[in-house]
Amino acid sequence: MASKEILEQIDQYYTGKIKQYGATPKGVDWNGEESQYLRFEQLCKVFKEKEFSILDYGCGFGSLYKFLKNQDYSFQYSGFDISEEMINKAKLANSDGVQWFTKINPLLKYDYAIASGIFNVKLDTKEAEWLKLILDTLEQLNQASTKGFSFNMLTSYSDKPLMKEYLYYAKPEFFFEHCKKNYAKNVALLHDYNLYEFSIIVKK
């Protein structure tokens, strides 16, 4: 299956979620706000300072933006999502000059890029094809960021009875090694925050 077809399937999946549940954690396929904010806390460990520009890659309706506004940061935020419905919801919820878009401009650079939850739902995509899409996306995150990027994934160490066929469970060691060899010397693997997932922090 071509990357375009895969992304179209994912677009339909998440557009369906946001239409069904609205601008809530379930609308972006999360269980609740508490676990969502716990994820953000891990991913924000990529920041080296309090003032920066950020690309939220797979921004949904802007939950990370809301989280950052409640922290001690001064930042310029841009949110990208392939779902036009998500972006429309984000614009309605945040009307203070934030940039929202459905296509990435490869010429634009940001201090940091963050991707939360975008690698989890593969649907019926074959694992090899999904892995290629992930690695291509990591390259985009790397190209878009000048100081670092972070992302999270469901872990292959999840309890077997709870694992679902339409989700992708990644081997943490593989992605740590990939980032270490290709993107930066300073890479952290976080797998200690009591969720069935891990986060990778890449500091350039």
Task: With beta carbons less than 8 A apart as the criterion, state whether 167 and 183 touch.
Answer: no
Q: Per CATH, which fold does 3-203 belong to?
A: Rossmann fold (3.40.50)
User: Which residues, at least 6 apart from 149, have a Cβ–Cβ distance to it below 8 Å?
Assistant: 46, 112, 113, 114, 115, 141, 142, 183, 202
3-class DSSP state of 113: strand
Closest CA to 121 of 134, 107, 103: 134
Distances (CA, A) of 198 to 56, 89, 90, 92, 111: 18, 28, 26, 31, 22
- Please state, in angstroms and rounded to a whole number, the distance separating the CA atoms of residues 164 and 175: 21
Indicate whether 169 pLDDT > 90.
yes
Residues 65-79, mean pLDDT to the nearest whole number: 94
pTM above 0.85, yes or no: yes
Residue 181: count other Cβ atoms within 10 Å of its Cβ: 9
Weakest-pLDDT range from 82-91, 104-113, 150-159: 82-91
- Please tell me the predicted confidence (pLDDT) of residue 17: 80
Average pLDDT, the chain: 92
Task: With beta carbons less than 8 A apart as the criterion, state whether 118 and 13 touch.
Answer: no
Q: What pLDDT digit, counting tens, does each position of 105-135 carry?
A: 999 999 999 999 999 999 999 999 999 999 9
Query: How does residue 2 score in pLDDT terms, banded at 50, 70 and 90?
Result: low
- Please tell me the predicted confidence (pLDDT) of residue 19: 84
- Please tell me the predicted confidence (pLDDT) of residue 65: 94
Query: How does residue 96 score in pLDDT terms, banded at 50, 70 and 90?
Result: confident
